Amino acid sequence: MSTPQESAPATDGPATAPEIVRVESGAPYDVVIGRGLLDELVAAVRATGATRTAILHPPTLELTADAVKAALADGGLDAHMVQVPDAEDAKSLEVLGFCWDVFGQVGLDRRDVVVGLGGGSVTDLAGFAAASWMRGIAVVQVPTTLLGMVDAAVGGKTGINTGAGKNMVGAFHEPAAVIVDLATLESLPRHELVAGMAEIVKAGFIADPVILDLIEEHGPASVDSSTLPPALDPASPVLAELVRRAIAVKAAVVAADLKESDLRETLNYGHTLAHAIEKRERYRWRHGAAVSVGLVFAAELGRAAGRLDDETADRHLTVLHALGLPTTYDPDALSELVTIMGSDKKTRSGTLRFVVLDGLARPGRLEGPDPSLLAAAYSVVAGQRKRPGTVDLG
């Protein structure tokens, strides 16, 4: 039923009892984690009371969407597949408008549901399409990338990019359920698994250092280069544990502060620079890769401001580099990036605000840093300055 390029349909593989992470927000919902979760997906959609559903999916997941559609139809739903452009190209006003047109054609009404099947770009789009259709209908998220599972599909941040920047238009619109079928990761290319690790590493630094211990113990250094290390192997219990832990971090944060009045900003660790890089690169860099560089920058800002100890700052470089994530960027880009960062959603009255660490799992804020601090931190990203004790990144 699946091609080597495509995700295994959620029915494939032995089903094991799924685990549930409950997101105790205003409208609590379950993140169901397991393998072979097609029945759980159908149950989640049926639980919304919908009679019709639109399944938004990228071209790569055509067969999987087909299998999902068939299962939903067997479950008594009138299900429609809606193919959207791949990756970041899906997060545009034009594609959103296309989705609204299709919703109208198939007759989605207020009781109906959108299914977001794909990576974070599709779940962001699907969430916002659902949030905006008839002023808000239900969405069930089915992330099929590592990054989508551990971050994008959970927490209700939805949106698209505009000329002004990354995720500039969107809504907080929580899913009715999130179905995390680890079997879908089996077709995900290694570089996409690696990109997803950047958000897992972020969760480790802001809240759950056990994540970092697991990656250090079971990451690429633990095997020869031709073998997938347990931390990146979709079949490994180590990756499942990393997924569970990162989802738990996100669930706890969004339950406490859905609309990002304070605590939720910590999930933006590394993202101030990352989003500027993505915009400057016209969204051709993977989000996870940009986040990796942004994490190094944020760690160095914390160090330069005298707030983060050398050991924790250095650990960012070693963990990210060991995973094969980028830790450097164009040495000449700082002034352009600073201008772009001026439109970051955390900026207040023109004052740049960054999430930094005051220690491992102790996130804080740095407001209006002196340009010399930005330059000092960026010199590490630019590969111009190495701290004593850091690994030689070559």
Ligand X SMILES: O=C(O)C(=O)C[C@@H](O)[C@H](O)[C@H](O)COP(=O)(O)O
91 annotated binding-site participant: yes
Q: Is 345 in the site for ligand X (CB under 6 A)?
A: yes
Q: Is 158 in the site for ligand X (CB under 6 A)?
A: no
Sole window of 13-21, 149-157, 355-363, 383-391 interacting with ligand NAD (rule: CB under 6 A) = 149-157
88 annotated binding-site participant: yes
The distance from CA 200 to its chain's CA centroid, rounded to whole angstroms, is 9
Closest residue to ligand X using C-beta atoms? 167
Kindly tell me which of 118 and 229 has the beta carbon lying closer to ligand NAD: 118
Q: Which of 269, 288, 279, 371 is nearest to 326 (CA)?
A: 288
Strand pairing report for 52-57 and 157-162: unpaired
SS3 3: coil
Binding mask 79-118 for ligand NAD (x = CB under 6 A): -------xxx--x--------------------------x
Kindly tell me which of 257 and 309 has the beta carbon lying closer to ligand X: 257
| Cα dist from 117 to 64, 135, 300, whole Å | 9, 21, 36
Given a contact cutoff of 8 angstroms between Cβ atoms, the answer to whether 41 and 142 are in contact is yes
- Tell the smallest beta-carbon distance from residue 155 to ligand X (Å): 5
Q: Is 151 in the site for ligand X (CB under 6 A)?
A: yes
Which residues fall within 8 angstroms of residue 383, CB to CB, at 6 or more apart? 328, 331, 393
208 contact choice in ligand X, ligand NAD, none (CB below 5 to 8 Å, kind-dependent)? none
- Tell the smallest beta-carbon distance from residue 2 to ligand NAD (Å): 9
Q: Is 161 in the site for ligand X (CB under 6 A)?
A: no
Q: Is 287 in the site for ligand NAD (CB under 6 A)?
A: yes
Q: Residue 334 and residue 338: Cα distance in Å, rounded?
A: 6
With tokens 């452009």, the residue in question is 85
Q: Which of 2, 115, 103, 130 is nearest to 61 (CA)?
A: 2
Which positions make up the binding site? 86-91, 144-145, 157, 166, 199, 271, 287
Interacting residues toward ligand X by CB under 6 A: 151, 155, 157, 166-167, 199, 260, 264, 267-268, 271, 345
